[in-house]
Copies of this chain bind each other. A is one copy, B any other.
Amino acid sequence: MENFYAELVDSGLVIPTGVKGAYGRGAALEDIIRAFNALVTRIGEADGAQEVLFPPVLPRALIEKMGYMDSFPQLAGSVHSFMGNDAKARELSERVHAGERWEDMLSPTELMLAPAACYPVYPAFSGLLPGGGRLITTMNWVFRHEPSDEPTRLQSFRMREFIRLGKSEDVLAWRDDWLRRGLALLQGLGLPADSDVASDPFFGRVGKMLATNQKEQRLKFEILVPVISKEKPTAVASFNWHQDHFSSKFGIRNSDDTLAQTACMGFGLERVALALVKAHGVDPKAWPQDVRAQLWPAA
């Protein structure tokens, strides 16, 4: 693991910033990410997904309503700002220069960091769906407070997602179809990818039961690729069937006025890029020709 991170830094793919899981990306890594994201767009093009895009901050009220603070309080990022007067600002500045903590002078804003790219999508499509439901695609920076030296475990990273809203049979068939397509896509790029049933990192003792339950119900699948180790492969894509968890909260209904269901699938763009680097080397120009032809078809 340390060797891989050192290789990433030496080759300029990764630019250290001094904070774990918050490094910068060099031009070559960014080019891989852009190319993979564009390949996903081409593969999904015929499906006619509607694109939406949200900023990396989203309403605090949405995080609360989603139940995120019940299940994943340890991962959430809350945005706080200074709302004081001139005198308080002087005190704040003095504390910064004295090397003292100053953050207790801040107040919570109405915003938190997006923990998943799909979260702001559900409230945006409240109400009746068209016949056949909806398919949405989005990309966003997501935040998870889990500082780590492991280069595939980032505090801030990009997810390219598709979100399906509709009848349960349509939503499930779509999820199964993307699980096949995602595996074929990643294996076709020379990655030893495999899929498995999975669970979310629910917090604490109650969380352990929630995770077991989620696995038993087969609500979450992941596509895994060995990057750091063979024993603990890295999840590079995830597939989540929410049943009516989000649709009931946001009043998303099918065209026949029954309660809709939702599912989402997402690629962790940095993780896919790092898996490709691990498999094919730090210089994309030296990657196998068939892999390059898929990622950079015009080159």
How far is it, in angstroms, between the C-alpha of A97 and the C-alpha of B120 when the chains are bound? 20
How far is it, in angstroms, between the C-alpha of A70 and the C-alpha of B89 when the chains are bound? 8
How far is it, in angstroms, between the C-alpha of A20 and the C-alpha of B58 when the chains are bound? 11
A127 to chain B, nearest CB (A): 14
- Are B204 and A86 closer than 8 Å at their CB atoms? yes
- Are A69 and B96 closer than 8 Å at their CB atoms? yes
CB-defined contacts of A84 to chain B, threshold 8 Å: 73
CB-defined contacts of A83 to chain B, threshold 8 Å: 74
How far is it, in angstroms, between the C-alpha of A52 and the C-alpha of B82 when the chains are bound? 30
- Are B82 and A79 closer than 8 Å at their CB atoms? no
Residue of B whose beta carbon sits closest to that of A147: B110
- Are A73 and B82 closer than 8 Å at their CB atoms? yes
How far is it, in angstroms, between the C-alpha of A30 and the C-alpha of B15 when the chains are bound? 28
A36 to chain B, nearest CB (A): 15
- Are B76 and A78 closer than 8 Å at their CB atoms? no
Query: Which of A100-108, A212-220, A287-295 lies on the face that meets chain B?
Result: A100-108
- Are A19 and B110 closer than 8 Å at their CB atoms? yes
Cross-interface CB contact of A17 among B51, B79, B123, B205, cutoff 8 Å: B123
Query: Which of A59-67, A180-188, A250-258 lies on the face that meets chain B?
Result: A59-67
- Are A78 and B55 closer than 8 Å at their CB atoms? no
Residue of B whose beta carbon sits closest to that of A94: B70
Query: Which of A21-29, A161-169, A259-267 lies on the face that meets chain B?
Result: A21-29
CB-defined contacts of A59 to chain B, threshold 8 Å: 17-19, 22
How far is it, in angstroms, between the C-alpha of A113 and the C-alpha of B69 when the chains are bound? 21
- Are B81 and A156 closer than 8 Å at their CB atoms? no
CB-defined contacts of A205 to chain B, threshold 8 Å: 86
Residue of B whose beta carbon sits closest to that of A107: B103
Residue of B whose beta carbon sits closest to that of A64: B96
- Are B93 and A70 closer than 8 Å at their CB atoms? yes
Known: A76-B82, A79-B79. A18 touches B55 (CB 8 A): no
User: What are some 5 contacts across the A-B interface (CB < 8 A)?
Assistant: A24-B53, A25-B52, A26-B52, A57-B156, A89-B204
Q: Does A296 contact B (CB under 8 A)?
A: no
CB-defined contacts of A102 to chain B, threshold 8 Å: 69
Known: A69-B93, A109-B145. A18 touches B52 (CB 8 A): no
- Are A62 and B17 closer than 8 Å at their CB atoms? yes
- Are A22 and B111 closer than 8 Å at their CB atoms? yes
Q: A30-B52, A89-B204 are in contact. List 14 more A-B contacts (CB 8 A).
A: A17-B54, A17-B120, A18-B61, A19-B59, A22-B55, A27-B51, A57-B143, A64-B96, A70-B93, A75-B81, A77-B80, A78-B106, A80-B108, A111-B156
Q: Does A56 contact B (CB under 8 A)?
A: yes
CB-defined contacts of A69 to chain B, threshold 8 Å: 82, 92-93, 96, 102
Q: Does A203 contact B (CB under 8 A)?
A: yes
Q: Does A239 contact B (CB under 8 A)?
A: no
